[in-house]
Amino acid sequence: MVISTPTLYSQIKESYKTIIVIVGIAISLQFVSSIPIEWFESYLITSTAITIFPLGVAISCFIISNIYGGSKIFGKSYFILGLSYVLFFLGEALYFFYFDPFDTYEYSIIAEIFFMISMPLILTHIVINIGYFVEKLERLQKVLLLIIPLIIIFGYTLIFTTSNAEIPNEFYFHLIFVIESSIVLAFTVVAFTLFRTTVIVCPLVFTFDRNFI
pLDDT at 121: 94
203: Cβ–Cβ under 8 A, 6 or more apart, which residues?
A: 57, 61, 78, 81, 125
Q: Is residue 58 part of a domain?
A: yes
Q: Is residue 1 part of a domain?
A: no
In single-letter form, the type of residue at position 118 comes to S
Other Cβ atoms within 10 Å of 150 Cβ, number: 11
**What is the distance between the alpha carbons of residues 1 and 37, in angstroms, rounded to a whole number?**
53
Q: Is residue 53 part of a domain?
A: yes
pLDDT at 183: 93
Other Cβ atoms within 10 Å of 120 Cβ, number: 14
**What is the distance between the alpha carbons of residues 200 and 213, in angstroms, rounded to a whole number?**
20
- pTM given for the model: 0.72
Contact 123, 179 (CB under 8 A): no
Q: Is residue 39 part of a domain?
A: yes
Q: Is residue 198 part of a domain?
A: yes
Three-class SS state of 2: strand
Look at the chain and report how many structural domains it folds into.
1
pLDDT at 12: 47
pLDDT at 61: 87
Contact 212, 18 (CB under 8 A): no
- The 3-class secondary structure across 5-50, one letter per residue, is CCEHHHHHHHCHHHHHHHHHHHHHHHHHHHCCCCHHHHHHHHHHHH
- Per the structure, the complete domain to which residue 184 belongs is given by 8-212
Q: Spell out, as residue ranges, where the chain has pLDDT lower than 50.
A: 1-8, 11-12, 14-15, 37, 39, 213
* β partners of residue 134: 2
Q: Is residue 2 part of a domain?
A: no
**What is the distance between the alpha carbons of residues 156 and 120, in angstroms, rounded to a whole number?**
20
Q: Is residue 155 part of a domain?
A: yes
**What is the distance between the alpha carbons of residues 191 and 23, in angstroms, rounded to a whole number?**
24
Q: Is residue 3 part of a domain?
A: no
